[in-house]
Amino acid sequence: MRAVIRGTGMHVPANVVDNHRLSRVMETSDDWILRRTGISTRHFADLDEATSDVALPAAERAVEDAGLQKEDIDYIVFATMTPDFYFPGSAPVFQHKFGLQGIGALDIRLQCSGFVYGMQLADAMIRSGQCRNILLIGAEVHGGFMPWKSWDVLLGQSDREVPEEERSWNTRFRDRTVLFGDGAGAFVVSAADGEERGLEAVSVHADGAHTEKMWVPSGGSARRPYFDPEQFEKGETIPIVVGREVFKVAVTVMPQAVEEILTANGYTLDDLDLLIMHQANLRINEAVQKTLGLPDEKVYNNIQKYGNTTAATLPMAFHEARTERSLTPGQLVCFVALGSGLSWGAALYRY
């Protein structure tokens, strides 16, 4: 028995924010963002939309794509770094909104690598016989972390001129705020007989020595109080990313993870048909692709349209690749991601 991706779905909020819109609220430009990140646009949720809300359409589409009913789902795994609340996690909140009561609902908090960890969990639960159909979700609404003072302009609700003081505040955090977008992706992972298709392997890793390379210092038990005005002013309540250091780690461990999982399962890079990487920065993905020596037709990126949607990038990219690349049965797909912790992992899937 193997765990197969029976259905996929994705959803992004209606608000499309391009780089030119960002330049209206802070000191930046389309060229500045493109050169550093490869991102042209991203989607932002409305201010009354939570992560669980953005996940709902993605989940509905995945269940429909799988040819199932909601009631066929027997477990929910929800990967996110932007839960609706400090607690409870978003999984039970989503479960209630989705109309499923009583089944297990688990959050995974490993940020950008959360979805690949979720794939490992889903695979184990399917193979052990505990579940038949798992709804695996990656969803994010980063707005709660982003210290914008110009939401009305960003969401297209106002054409006002942004005052200099407001622009200055927004500009302080532009190295981070230009990266993120909102969205959700979902897989229905189901049990299937035979060895012709399905998850072949998942390998995950972590190294806490790199904690402070990507983190939010405030909001946990290591800081007392959890939040105070001084922390907010210092930018310690939003993601801090040491970009150069993260880049160096990412372009080293991500290709290693791909080659290691291929070798461990008797494959070479020549056997790989498609690589789906975490969509954090197009420049990182270009470097990983170059290291691995893969042609463009074996790599799929969509960060240009959506920005970094953290735990949602892998399912969103795979969902679009299924259609745009016309995947055929028997093709070998590798997923790879690196996130805070630092944590990383790779998965091999026979389509």
Q: What residues act catalytically?
A: 112, 278, 308
Long-range contact set of residues 20-25: C-beta below 8 Å, sequence gap at least 24: 21/153, 21/154, 21/156, 22/154, 22/177, 22/178, 24/150, 24/153, 24/162, 25/148, 25/150, 25/153, 25/154, 25/162, 25/166, 25/167, 25/170
Give the C-alpha separation, 50 to 82, whole Å.
9
Contact between 315 and 279 under an 8 Å Cβ cutoff? The reply is: no
Contact between 83 and 144 under an 8 Å Cβ cutoff? The reply is: no
Contact between 300 and 273 under an 8 Å Cβ cutoff? The reply is: no
Give the C-alpha separation, 24 to 43, whole Å.
16
Contact between 345 and 204 under an 8 Å Cβ cutoff? The reply is: yes
Written as one letter, the residue type at 150 is: S
The strand ranges marked E within the chain are 2-11, 15-18, 41-44, 75-79, 104-108, 133-140, 183-192, 198-206, 214-215, 240-241, 274-277, 299-300, 332-339, 343-350
Contact between 42 and 11 under an 8 Å Cβ cutoff? The reply is: no
Give the C-alpha separation, 106 to 108, whole Å.
7
Name 325's bridge partners. none
Contact between 214 and 246 under an 8 Å Cβ cutoff? The reply is: yes
Q: What angle do CA 287, 291, 295 make, to 5 degrees?
A: 85
Give the C-alpha separation, 135 to 8, whole Å.
10
CA 65 → CA 59, 61, 246, 333, distances in Å?
A: 10, 6, 36, 19
- Whether the upstream peptide bond of residue 295 has omega within 30° of 0, thus cis, is no
